[in-house]
Amino acid sequence: MYRLTGVRPGKLRIYQEALRHSSMSLIQNTEQIGNNERLEFLGDAILDAVIADLLYMQFPRKNEGFLTEMRTRIVNREQLSFLAAKLGLVEIMEIKSDLHHNKVAMKTIGGNALEALIGAIYLDKGFSAARKFVVDRLVGHYLDMEKLMSTTVSYKALIMKWTQQNHKSIQFVVQHLGENTNSLNTVSLVVDGETWFTEENFSRKKAEELCSEKACRKLGL
């Protein structure tokens, strides 16, 4: 753990739980041995706070929209999976062997474990240690902020990928509010027959992207 995080662990059990997938949950003597799901929930909130603080301090002249966009680029599932792979988290986790052949599941498992590890550091050493791990070990070593700033994120592509992976149907229902080409378009994002979000814009593609962005935030993508 020290080699991995730069933190000398005190409460080893917390780190063991952070690296134990739910597929390995056991019950012994009526007491369940914990997995990393609760720590993942905690670590997700800590990571969001740390990244928000980092961006706020690093970009004092940027507006809320820019800061939110950058945070999304840093903490989305693809990025967390990339960081988990760089740390080699999956290789030292307790996971059912058959899951190793599921590439989609393994990406999610790695990212979730990273969040759980952040939660473990927070519980063991406090917020400052968790922040230092995120800023120094993750952002400092593996993320290029300049590159992230110039990368275009397609929220529609992210939500389309999510629906494919989770076997959901998706549809963008478009309604024109006028007859000329300069009229507003009302676009609704419909998932499995349920309308999730509706946006208006002169550009249909922009309205679709706005709906998709809200969906990504809802799903934590």
**What domains sit in the chain, N to C, each tagged with a CATH number?**
2-150 (1.10.1520.10), 155-219 (3.30.160.20)
pLDDT 10s digits, 137-162: 999 888 888 777 776 667 787 788 78
What are the b/e assignments for 42-72, b being 16+ CB within 10 Å?
Answer: bbbebbeebbbebbeeeeeeeeeeebebbbb
CB within 8 A of 132, min separation 6: which ones? 6, 7
Instruction: Choose the catalytic residue: 44, 124, 208, 213.
Output: 44
For this structure, is 44 an active site residue? yes
pLDDT 10s digits, 199-217: 888 778 888 888 888 888 8
Instruction: Choose the catalytic residue: 17, 48, 94, 115.
Output: 115
For this structure, is 64 an active site residue? no
Give the global pTM. Answer: 0.68
Short-list 140, 141, 122, CA closest to 7: 122
